[in-house]
Amino acid sequence: MAVRSTGIQAARIDPFGLFKKECENILAGAYARLRHDKGVALPKIDIASTLEDPPNEEFGHLASSISFELARVLKSKPMKVASDLSDEARKGEKFELVESVQPAEPGYLNFKANLPHLARLTLDAIGKAGPNYGLVIASTPQRIIVEHTSANPARPIHIGTSKNSIFGDTLARILKARGHMVQTHFYIDDTGRQVAQMAYGYKLLGEPAPSGKTDEFIGRVYSVTSTLVEIDENKRRLALLKKTNASDLDIVAVTKELDEWVGVAEELHSKYPEMFDALSELVSKEEDPQKSISQLIRRYEKGEQETKTLIRRVSQMVLAGFEETLRRARIHFDQWDWESEMLWTGRVAELLDRLKESGLARNRSGSWQLDAEKAVEDFGLREKLGLSPTFEVAPLTLTRSDGTSLYPTRDIAYTMYKFEWAERVINVIGVEQTLAQLQVKIAVYLLGHRKEAMNFIHFPIGLLVLEGQRMSARKGRYVTFDQLLDEAFLRAKQEVEKRSSDLPDEVKDRVAKRISMSAVRYAMLSVEASKSTNFVWDRALNFEANSAPFINYAYTRTLGILKKLGKFDRPGSFDKLNEPAEQNLILCLSRFPEIFTKSADELNPTLLCLYANQLAQRFHEFYEKSDISHVADTKLKLQRTSLVEASRTVLQTVAGLLGLELAERM
């Protein structure tokens, strides 16, 4: 079991996994002997599934619940079965990583690890593999596309979308570390109404050179234009209703909506008076703004050159701002894909023809719809897709009555395009898109791409709000990702000032920059992606628990100790690390490969956040209780120093997977 190996071999070692495997083998042997001794037919049991973490490590490091299942068959008490299994376990081969197997009320079988042996296996592997420790390579690496962010190029990235960006980027980092070939893609939605409204307003203004950050300038154009167009449209609707003697209820509803948009207009006028006044005058002179915008959409879909030049130019301005913002958060993309290309290359037209030929598409007053529910029944997809017997999949509208395609149709074509390279496609998109993503999956399946459909994954992102604030990008009520990062930097710098006022200003800025960016990423990643997140500053920048600063503080403590002690020789054994704080830290380090593998295979970055927080917590406890500098026992000093070095290495690795940038001083 001793590991004196190359760095590559050491990187693949899963110390706690080896302990767990030995527990499985011991349990399997004990169970087989018990079956023989009892002389009765006992059921086959998945031994691994019975092993779990006990509520308290004083009971053991793994516990099995197998006795409860066997007790029903043997008509015996679980505690009696646990005792019998414990006796049988001692008759087997000599343990290596398992120190003891003990029954415990009301019927569990508790396994304790041989901690000196586990410590040597773990710390030797970390020493050999360095930053690659725990990054277990998948047995069958895949080509994977992670598509994320994909914000409309009509305004800056706001904090709601930033959660999508951070989870998508982190997924890509984890999957790459697992050995997969990963590409990150940004899908530019340049054919929708929002982009057309933006381009319409920009053209009315005479296509001016942006002042300030490009995406922020164009975002103002979009919000003001959208608001003015909505006011104009509601005024037209209200006039028509009054002219046709419509019901008071309809008139009241439109009046209420008009009043809401007038309120939005007042807000925007107070923020951007010059731009608002200019656009207000220009829009008022237009015969029918909505009609002009619809014409822009149709001309762009057809690839009309003047319109194409206008919309591409404005979109590129916004995308340049996106890239600038995303770089601040350590996010980049391998490829930017234009939605319009799906139209201009004929992919959407070809897709529509194939869907019409499938017999599952219907023409409804000129609009084509896909009968997704019938597709589910015809292809027997209900169980494969995990749909309940009562769930009915809504029809998917493929085209408008004027023949122009809709976003989901283009998304199907784009999905097929991505599978030309990838074996697995992961779409990191809002939870509200769950139905649309399901419909895309069904469409891909009925087109004959069954394997691809099953490897098409929607990774849902829940709502994010900043300390309870609701936002509306369309109405100009939003907090940008840049504003979030700016505020995080200011708050982090205040904390650095309080803790290290003697540092040079440039060092304070560098430290605050790293802490703030990492704090934002961690605060989002630490809550499961599909859940709603309320971003709270006091939690994000908490130096005491469950935050990036808390993890960073553990890292800087490791650096301080190692710098003070200087070079040291790695010990050959770790038999003196007997204090609870030391053993808890060793156990935590030993579990990193298992946690990393699970996080990658289950697409769950939050598991790594929980692990990073636990490792930091365990290290802080070790730091407070275990003296290193003044200990007289040289062997103990070396063993504790190795434990510090291993902690630093794993903290740095897990931080890198999460996209955190650790500061060396705080």
Average pLDDT over residues 588-616: 97
The pLDDT score that the predictor gives to residue 590 is 97
Q: Say which DSSP state 148 is in.
A: -
Residues 6+ apart with CB under 8 A from 295: none
Would you say residue 533 has pLDDT above 70? Answer: yes
Name the amino acid, one letter, at 320: A
Q: Which residue has the tokens 């995308």?
A: 319
The pLDDT score that the predictor gives to residue 331 is 96
Q: Are strands 62-64 and 361-364 parallel, antiparallel or unpaired?
A: unpaired
10 Å Cβ neighbour count for 163?
24
Q: Is residue 65 left, alpha or beta, with left meaning phi > 0 and alpha meaning psi from -120 to 50? A: alpha
Cβ–Cβ under 8 Å, residues 164 and 429? yes
The pLDDT score that the predictor gives to residue 15 is 95
In angstroms, the CA 488 to CA 549 distance is 12
User: In the beta sheet, which residues pair with residue 98?
Assistant: 113
Largest distance between two CA atoms of the chain: 96
The pLDDT score that the predictor gives to residue 286 is 93
**Model pLDDT for residues 483-509, shown as the tens digit of each residue:** 999 999 999 999 899 888 888 999 999
Percent of the chain with pLDDT over 90: 76
**Model pLDDT for residues 142-177, shown as the tens digit of each residue:** 999 999 999 999 989 998 899 999 999 999 999 999
10 Å Cβ neighbour count for 79?
16
CA dihedral 565, 510, 512, 213 (to 10 degrees): -160
Q: How confident is the model at residue 347 (pLDDT cuts 50, 70, 90)?
A: very high
The pLDDT score that the predictor gives to residue 468 is 61
Q: Say which DSSP state 466 is in.
A: E
Would you say residue 3 has pLDDT above 50? Answer: no
**Model pLDDT for residues 360-419, shown as the tens digit of each residue:** 999 988 899 999 999 999 999 999 999 999 999 999 999 988 877 888 999 999 999 999
Most confident by average pLDDT, 24-33, 74-83, 116-125: 116-125
The pLDDT score that the predictor gives to residue 124 is 93
Cβ–Cβ under 8 Å, residues 626 and 579? yes
DSSP states of 542-598: -SSSSSHHHHHHHHHHHHHHHHHH---PPPS--TT--SHHHHHHHHHHHTHHHHHHH
Would you say residue 666 has pLDDT above 50? Answer: yes
Q: Quick one: which of 160, 213, 435 has its CA closest to 323?
A: 213
The residue ranking higher by pLDDT, 309 or 503, is: 309
In angstroms, the CA 166 to CA 172 distance is 10
Average pLDDT over residues 572-583: 92
The pLDDT score that the predictor gives to residue 6 is 57
Q: Please tell me the pTM assigned to this model.
A: 0.92
The pLDDT score that the predictor gives to residue 7 is 59
Name the amino acid, one letter, at 639: Q
The pLDDT score that the predictor gives to residue 1 is 42
Q: How confident is the model at residue 474 (pLDDT cuts 50, 70, 90)?
A: low
Q: Say which DSSP state 145 is in.
A: E
Cβ–Cβ under 8 Å, residues 335 and 184? yes
- Domains contained in the chain, CATH given: 7-113 (3.30.1360.70), 143-190+338-466 (3.40.50.620), 193-330 (no CATH), 495-658 (1.10.730.10)
The pLDDT score that the predictor gives to residue 4 is 46
Q: How confident is the model at residue 321 (pLDDT cuts 50, 70, 90)?
A: very high
| Range of lowest pLDDT (206-215, 441-450, 491-500, 612-621) | 491-500
The pLDDT score that the predictor gives to residue 362 is 92
Most confident by average pLDDT, 86-90, 465-469, 647-651: 647-651
**Model pLDDT for residues 7-41, shown as the tens digit of each residue:** 566 667 899 999 999 999 999 988 888 777 766 66
User: In the beta sheet, which residues pair with residue 534?
Assistant: 465
Average pLDDT, the chain: 91
Token reading at 286? 């237009």
The pLDDT score that the predictor gives to residue 69 is 86
Would you say residue 79 has pLDDT above 70? Answer: yes
User: How close are the terminal C-alpha atoms of the chain, in Å?
Assistant: 41
Q: Quick one: which of 230, 213, 220, 175 has its CA closest to 198?
A: 220
The residue ranking higher by pLDDT, 639 or 12, is: 639
Q: How confident is the model at residue 2 (pLDDT cuts 50, 70, 90)?
A: very low
